[in-house]
Structure 1
């Protein structure tokens, strides 16, 4: 069975046009003072307006994100990968967009399995079922189907993403606003590489597996969603990221990590909580855990 997402090319074309437009000039890119104030409040877990508020342009949002990353790299280390946000219909509906949004991952954001994270270190700290794809071959940049992506990756890594929305709960977030805060990238707990079968078998497996989040204390299932909740197949998020980078004159390289986005709903991070994410239907049903204090 070949797993494809027929709507993906339209989404890629739309975001590519936006990014190409952003590569020339920024009409209202936030100034350094705005970026510095944002980062100071973020570091102190205080609510702060997004550098580009709802109703702004994607060009300005990408400019703001770039400035934020330049400053964050001094503390968080270099870029190790990228993230696709709002990759499910429900997430897109919640934020009023019709396509994903683009973010960047830094070295210091990635934590080992079983890591404990202090919820109070970020404003509106959340957790979600996610999945990271590790790139092995630059040919991924020309892939157009999940099967083609599979031939270019080292495998997948279990990933509990821990985003932080940063802004006050009453503040509206749309595509440009959430892009300007780097799609909420804050931390994430990541496991070891897991190989996935090639071809139709692996593509179907990644479409049909279930990402199940469980409360370790109660055994309660917090959420369970199929891989196909992400653009029809999580590997379509890799295609989307590759095309978005290409429009910026960049490309995915061996060793890069791609966070495919939420596989299910966002959950508020609560002190004293411990959760486990299990990929039911992938080889050996891999899992990863994280704790919050």
Structure 2
């Protein structure tokens, strides 16, 4: 795609945010768009948000589990940016109308203590860089009408990022193997899903390695203090005003998101 087309595609998505109305798929408006183009469109929006005063606070890996890939009809992970304006306090009411088509999913969040710069990052490097982990709920959202997305659409749309709620119980990686960590997801007091850390590329740590090595050649580092969401342990579930969602991750603790009525 020519630079002008990249800017036009980014403007299409930014207008969906502004108007609060989903748009047609990017791939429909720009059928020549590749995944590389989609990341350029994503970056164009990130530059716009940062110029308006927001701050990059981390990254997310999307579509890292087979459950999510099957749900969204794709066959590979992607990544997006987490900005300060996306973070919500646990138990504090979240305005559901801020989102267009919100869904929620449980994740194990990494908080970094050291910089990770790919390529060449190993599992050992990734583990050494993690300060602690937290239970988390990610609010995913799509600016594409009816979630009718291809891999190009979700990448261009900042990996369908929406919001993040972090739990408050930190755990050191040396204290726990993340692969067998189980999770139950409750929506409105009813258990809707169960999952495990191993559903995320075999281990959430593998998703962290994939992310560092994927964005490193693009000149993007994972910085100390950044939050990394490695991918969902279950399918994503729609949420609406008045919902309360809790993820219980056993020894990792719980995290609750409350949507204002």
* Aligned 1:108-187 pairs, distance under 5 A: 108-138=85-115, 141=118, 142-145=120-123, 148-169=125-146, 172-187=148-163
Residues 112-144 of structure 1: per-residue CA shift (max 9 Å, x gap): 111322222222111111221011123575542
* Aligned 1:142-291 pairs, distance under 5 A: 142-145=120-123, 148-169=125-146, 172-192=148-168, 194-198=170-174, 202=176, 205-215=177-187, 217=188, 219-280=189-250, 282=251, 285-291=252-258
Q: Decide whether the 8 Å contact of 2:132 with 2:173 is kept in 1.
A: no
Separation (CA, whole Å) in 2 of partners of 1:157 and 1:75: 29
Q: Decide whether the 8 Å contact of 1:210 with 1:279 is kept in 2.
A: yes
Separation (CA, whole Å) in 1 of partners of 2:216 and 2:161: 21
How much does 1:36 deviate?
A: 2.6
2:47 aligned counterpart, secondary structure: helix
Question: What is aligned with 1:92?
Answer: 69
* Structure 2, unaligned runs of 5 or more: none
1:270 aligned counterpart, secondary structure: coil
How much does 1:212 deviate?
A: 1.6
Question: What is aligned with 1:36?
Answer: 11
Q: 1:139 to 1:68 in 2, by over 3 A?
A: closer
Separation (CA, whole Å) in 2 of partners of 1:131 and 1:103: 16
Question: What is aligned with 2:46?
Answer: 69
* Aligned 1:45-56 pairs, distance under 5 A: 45-53=20-28, 56=33
Tell me the matched-pair count: 257
Separation (CA, whole Å) in 1 of partners of 2:52 and 2:209: 30
Separation (CA, whole Å) in 2 of partners of 1:121 and 1:84: 22
How much does 1:213 deviate?
A: 1.3
How much does 1:82 deviate?
A: 0.7
TM-score between the two structures when normalised by the length of structure 2? 0.89
Separation (CA, whole Å) in 2 of partners of 1:83 and 1:175: 15
Residues 50-90 of structure 1: per-residue CA shift (max 9 Å, x gap): 43449631111011101111112244611111110000112
How much does 1:111 deviate?
A: 1.3
Q: 1:34 to 1:110 in 2, by over 3 A?
A: same
Separation (CA, whole Å) in 1 of partners of 2:89 and 2:52: 18
Separation (CA, whole Å) in 1 of partners of 2:75 and 2:95: 33
1:87 aligned counterpart, secondary structure: coil
Q: 1:197 to 1:84 in 2, by over 3 A?
A: closer
* Structural RMSD (CA): 2.3
